[in-house]
Amino acid sequence: MIGFEIHTRRRAVAANIVAKYVGLPVANISDVMSRMTAGGPRLRPMHDGSFMAGPALTVRTRPGDNLMVHKALDLAAPGDVVVVDAGGDLTNAIIGEIMVSYAKSRKLGGIVINGSIRDAGALRRGDFPVFAAGITHRGPYKDGPGEINCTIALDGMTIEPGDLVVGDDDGLLCIPYDQVDAIYEAAKGKHAAEEKTFANIAAGKHDTSWVDARLKALGVIK
C-alpha cells in the first residue's frame, strides 16, 4: 500500500563501537564534524539527561500518528535508538509513558521524536533517553501512513538506518555508519585536549595569548 512500507535494515553500528562513544560529549563530536551537522535546537532531552547512543531504527510517519512507531518498537533490537520523523508538528504527542516503558522493557537505547511527547513529568524523572521537539497532552492517532527503516532528515541532518545516533544535554547528533571509527578517534583527541585545558585553568596556567594574536592578525590591535 502506498505510504506504508517496512524495510529491512541492512546494517547497523556494532555494540562495541556504540560503547566507545558513551559519555563522549556531543559538543566534542560536533566540533570534529566541522560543526556542520545537527538535529536542530528544538530536539531536547525529555528525560533525566542520561547519555544516549545506539544504531538508528528510523521511522517516517504522518504528523500526529504513531501506528508505525508502535511497530518500530516491536522490531527494534536491544540498544537501538528509534528515530521518528513526525514532520516536526507539535499538535499531537507521538509517544508517552506507556510506550517509553515498553521501549525500556525491551532494552532499547532511546527514542527520538521530531514532534511532541506527553507524560512529560514521568519521562523527565526517568533515565530512559527520550529526545523530542515539544510537549502536549493531546494524544496521537493510529491510522498511518508511515515507513520504517527509510532515510529521514531532521532539520537537515540525514539519518540512514543503522547510523550511530548520540545525544546528551547539548542535543542530538548522527554519525554516518562509514565514519564512526574516524570520528571517534578525532573526538577522543578533542576531548583529551579540553581536559588538558581544564587542568591548566585549575593550575593557573591557561594560555590566552591566541586572543591577542588573532586580534593583531585582524588589525584590531597593534
**Can you give the pLDDT at residue 76?**
98
**Can you give the pLDDT at residue 39?**
87
pTM to 2 decimal places: 0.94
How many Å from the N-terminal Cα to the C-terminal Cα in the chain?
A: 70
Residue 179 DSSP code: G
Count CB neighbours of 151 within 10 A.
14
Contact 18, 55 (CB under 8 A): yes
Indicate the annotated binding residues for Mg(2+). 119
Closest among 116, 131, 119 to 38, alpha carbons compared? 131
Residue 64 DSSP code: T
Query: Tell me, what amino acid is at 9?
Result: R
Q: Where are the beta strands (DSSP E) in the chain?
A: 4-6, 44-45, 52-61, 81-85, 93-95, 110-117, 130-135, 146-148, 152-154, 157-159, 164-168, 171-175
Cα–Cα distance for residue pair 32/20, rounded to 1 Å: 16
Indicate the annotated binding residues. 96-99, 118-119
Per-residue pLDDT for the chain (222 aa), expressed as one digit of tens each? 788 999 999 999 999 999 999 999 999 999 999 998 888 899 999 999 899 999 999 999 999 999 999 999 999 999 999 999 999 999 999 999 999 999 999 999 999 999 999 999 999 999 999 999 999 999 999 999 999 999 999 999 999 999 999 999 999 999 999 999 999 999 999 999 999 999 999 999 999 999 999 999 999 987
What is the CATH number assigned to the segment(s) 5-178?
A: 3.50.30.40
Q: Grid coordinates representing 131?
A: 529526545
Q: Where are the domains of the chain?
A: 5-178, 188-218
Indicate the annotated binding residues for substrate. 96-99, 118
**Can you give the pLDDT at residue 1?**
72
**Can you give the pLDDT at residue 198?**
95
Cα–Cα distance for residue pair 17/144, rounded to 1 Å: 34
**Can you give the pLDDT at residue 191?**
96
Please provide the size of the chain in residues.
222
